[in-house]
Chains A and B, each alone.
Chain A
Amino acid sequence: MENRASYRVAGKCLAITVWLIGLGVIASGSRRWLPSLASEHGAGIDVMIRFTMAAAGAMILTGHMVLGFFLWRFGSQNKISFRLASHRMERAWSVAAVLVMAVVAEGGVLVLGMPVWAKVFASAAPSSALTVEVTTEQFAWNVRYAGPDGKFGRTSPQLISLDNPLGVDPKDDSAKDDIVDLNIIHVVVNRPVKVRLRSKDVIHSFFLPNLRVKQDSMPGMTIDLWFVPNKTGTFELACAELCGFGHYEMRGILIVMTPEDFEKWLLEKKNG
């Protein structure tokens, strides 16, 4: 066949491209991409991600190598060397694919994934947790602590005004010692933090990239989540659910402090 020579070249070009792609994926994927970790449960999420990266990386590499080899090898033959696979062989390859994916995908999620998921979402926060109420609005994070009495003052949407963005009921005694802040959350290192997430208008999402925390705030619902920050420092809080034109600049800050610094801050907050 007159075109065979050109097919041979095309097959080899494609094969080399496919091999380079496979190697490129692995080379670029083995760089450190995840933001530095600053929470306890985040280690579990990172293990899950790294396991999947390793497994997917191995399969991507294998797949690209095999595909490239086929293109190289069979691009140069004029007649087929193998025609129809037996049903047995087809079944065997299917079973092999199923077994690999059952171990990697289902095994991964059942063994490595679900325990972490259950701990993050399906378990209650420890009683020692510091409770913070975060109420989202376009485009800010309203932060509230219960204060010394450990009780949040009652709120009602009817009471919301420019001076009272949360609609706190001034007649409620437990509201008197509540501490309110905007866009900055102060928490204590190694002490569990329980966030009561609410929203005033649209859906937002409470995303702490370094702490591997993400939870949508859903209007009409109060969603509890908890995590344990285990590094002191300042971390960024981003909105991860499209919430309007200011979505890209709805930035908050999480400050993880030592217990002493936190007490100092509380005191300042009360006096100031």
Chain B
Amino acid sequence: MAELANPVHQPSSFLRRYIFSQDHKVIGIQYLITAMFMGIVGGLLAMLMRIQLAWPGQNMPLLSKLFPDGMAGGVMKPEFYLSLITMHGTIMIFFVVSLALVGGFGNFLIPLQIGARDMAFPFLNMLSFWTIVPGCLIMMGSFFVEGGAAASGWTAYPPLSAVRSAVPGSNWGQTWWIVGMALFIISFTMGGLNFVTTILDQRTKGMSMMRMPLVVWALFIASVIGLLTFPALLAAAILLLFDRHFGTSFYLPSGLYFGNHLLPNKGGTPLLWQHLFWFLGHPEVYVLILPALGITLDLLPVFTRKPVFGYRMTIYCLYAIAILSMIVWGHHMYVSGMSPYVGEFFAIGTLSITLPSTIIGVNMIASLWGGSLRFPAPMLFVIGVIVFFGTGGFGGLFLGNATSDIQLHDTYFVVGHFHLMIGGITLLAAFAAVYYWFPKMFGRMMSDRLAKLHFWLTFPTFYALFLVMHYQGLAGMPRRYYAFDKYEFLSGMVKSQVHISLVAFVLGAAQFIFLFNFFWSIFRGAKAEPNPWNAATLEWTTASPPPHGNWGEELPEVHRWPYDYSVPGAASDCTPQTVPPGIAPVAM
């Protein structure tokens, strides 16, 4: 447990302090704001998609100025729609949710919650952020290269993504996509190494692993999963780059025929990409969801004034999910043509993830039992997470099951499911976390009233939008369709598209309330008390915002677990982790 003799002195130049900072708090906030910016981009892409789906072929002359190619004459081209879905998915998953939850709160919270002065490798931390920035720029810039942005879906299945003439987006856009993804993976590998090392090595005196808050546990396990699986996609992406530019055939079999000529490739298989992609792709959803659940479990005790239910059991479940998440990737490939016997293995394995997941769900609900509930904005979002986890999780029963997946694979059921899970849970948890830790970041409170308005406009609309998509999927509506007017069996779905789009616009617009609240409160928010939520975790024992080095001369010493609320015999209903056993009894 490293302890510095003197607190580190803060660099004095503006550039070193706020731009190229090595302070984990600044880097965390940098990640968070980058995620917000990318979230606006990803959200606007979704709005364009919803315009097209509700009013196919609508003339939008204004947009033809921004995208002279994709929106030539003001009407969206199908290939531009495909670029939209691809980049919406890529940006939201890798450059919004990952940045906010892992990069943002991971960086901000880990040292503060375990009593460290900073991350184990501050320079590496800065480097990881400044690696992701060009990644973001490249992803956005790809819209303006020849052929437009990548259009093969966020999954980038070859040959569509490997052969330049397969779709316009597979021109330079796909190459930029690969480079952007590579930068993301490199950045998150550096970040993950830092997180794991910091958590294992930098905990303050008394902070045993079993005294860590659950959000730190979740980030720890998410980082381990990320470290073990991200490199697979980096390798896969490099192979794809070679197939595209250097004439190799990793993913291209012989006999491919495009645009009146035969390709010279021989011997590859597109299935290889799918295996490599999903070996990352599936664990990635847990990299995103585990921190979201950690945040939820961490906030519940604060707003129920009682310890979380099943702390140990939750940690075991996080481990179980981590291990299982790495051996179930094939459930994305049930109808891909891989061996049906392998499909059986993946179905049974996938459904076994429901066991630890359900335990965590039960623990979250049971944490409310007997509590004295408070409902400031963060708690509303926490309840939202629990609802989404319940409903969305049960959608997984349909898709993890190979037999029902035959009908539901690549339909809107999948779209609804993953939006509730890695879209809804993660976003609601991120909002809860921002509202909750904002006073720690800036020493000011966000407006609770606006935050509640934000919740009541976000939660029901999000739920309605993506619940409906489950039913559309049951009706067989395929995903990634530019329009639904070519099929008779989808004719019943066409009309509802307008309603769905209107709800989506409300959802999109509501996010500006959040953005306004965030930036306004940085300067104008009410001054925060030292411990505004009366919380027991370590970060509230230092100043808000914490000084460089987080604590003064002495690092805090921890005497108890992070959830000592309403301890019988204690002076108040919250006993911070630093209170010695003599003053209030120790439960754990």
Contacts and interface: CB of A to CB of B under 8 A. Distances in A.
Interface of A: 3, 6-7, 10-11, 14, 17-18, 21, 24-25, 28-29, 31, 33-35, 44-45, 48-49, 52, 55-56, 59-60, 63-64, 66-67, 70-71, 74-75, 77-85, 87, 90-91, 93-94, 96-98, 100-102, 104-106, 108-110, 112-114, 116-118, 120-122, 137-138, 157-158, 160, 162, 167, 200-203, 205, 207, 209-210, 212-221, 223, 236, 238-249, 251
A219 B369 contact: no
A184 to B, nearest CB: 15
B406 A242 contact: no
Interface in B456-514: 460, 463, 467-468, 471, 474-476, 478, 480-484, 486-489
A6 B566 CA distance: 22
Contact of A120 (B310, B406, B478): B406
Interface stretch (B194-202, B357-365, B437-445): B357-365
Interface stretch (B278-286, B397-405, B536-544, B550-558): B397-405
B567 to A, nearest CB: 8
7 tightest A-B CB contacts, nearest first? A220-B253, A82-B370, A209-B476, A121-B340, A157-B255, A113-B403, A10-B375
B48 interface: no
Given A18-B387, A105-B400, A244-B160, 5 more contacts: A121-B340, A122-B340, A221-B337, A223-B337, A236-B487
B352 A106 contact: yes
B355 A97 contact: yes
B473 to A, nearest CB: 9
A167 B256 CA distance: 12
A94 B406 contact: no
Given A87-B312, A98-B355, A49 B404 contact: yes
Contact of A243 (B160, B370, B476): B160
29 contacts: A24-B467, A29-B471, A35-B476, A48-B401, A49-B408, A66-B365, A78-B372, A83-B306, A83-B568, A87-B312, A93-B363, A94-B359, A100-B358, A109-B348, A110-B348, A114-B402, A114-B403, A117-B344, A117-B406, A118-B344, A201-B159, A203-B270, A215-B335, A220-B254, A220-B270, A238-B487, A244-B160, A245-B151, A251-B487
Contacts of B488: 236
B341 interface: yes
Interface of B: 77-79, 82, 151-153, 157, 159-160, 163, 166-168, 252-258, 260, 262, 268-271, 304-307, 309-310, 312-313, 335-337, 340-341, 343-344, 347-348, 351-352, 354-355, 358-359, 361-363, 365-366, 368-375, 380, 383, 386-387, 390-391, 394-395, 397-398, 400-404, 406-411, 460, 463, 467-468, 471, 474-476, 478, 480-484, 486-489, 565-566, 568, 573, 587
A175 B48 CA distance: 49
A207 B480 CA distance: 14
Contacts of B410: 205, 207, 214, 240-241
Contacts of A106: 348, 351-352
A70 B365 contact: yes
A22 to B, nearest CB: 9
A90 B335 contact: no
Nearest to A107: B351
A5 to B, nearest CB: 12
Contacts of A157: 254-257, 262
A74 B369 contact: yes
Contacts of A71: 368, 373, 383
B370 A91 contact: no
B391 A25 contact: yes
A74 B271 CA distance: 52
Contact of A17 (B258, B354, B460, B565): B460
Contacts, number: 328
A17 B459 CA distance: 10
A74 B380 contact: no
A116 B160 contact: no
Nearest to A217: B337
Given A66-B365, A90-B313, A93-B362, A113 B402 contact: yes
Contacts of A200: 255-257
Contact of B407 (A56, A59, A66, A214): A214
Contacts of B79: 244-245
A244 B167 CA distance: 5
A63 B384 CA distance: 13
A109 to B, nearest CB: 5
B256 A201 contact: yes
Contacts of A60: 390-391, 394
B312 A90 contact: yes
A71 B364 CA distance: 13
A136 B309 CA distance: 54
Contacts of B460: 17
A137 B404 contact: no
Given A49-B474, A114-B347, A241-B410, A83 B258 contact: no
Contact of A94 (B160, B362, B403, B474): B362
Among B160, B167, B337, find the residue whose CB has the most chain A CB atoms closer than 10 A: B337
A257 to B, nearest CB: 19
B471 A210 contact: no
A70 B369 contact: yes
A246 B262 CA distance: 21
A45 B403 CA distance: 6
Contacts of B335: 205, 214-216
A220 B354 CA distance: 35
A201 B566 contact: no
Given A218-B271, A242-B160, A90 B407 contact: no
Contacts of B270: 203, 218-220
Contacts of B355: 97-98, 101-102, 105
A101 B354 CA distance: 7
B337 A90 contact: no
Contacts of B478: 207, 238-240
Nearest to A222: B337
B487 A74 contact: no
Contacts of B391: 21, 25, 60
Nearest to A165: B257
B270 to A, nearest CB: 6
A94 to B, nearest CB: 5
Contacts of B363: 90, 93-94
A160 B261 CA distance: 8
Nearest to B310: A90
Contacts of A201: 159, 163, 166, 256-258
Nearest to A197: B337
A109 B328 CA distance: 15
Contacts of A248: 78, 480-484, 486
Nearest to A47: B403
Nearest to A206: B335
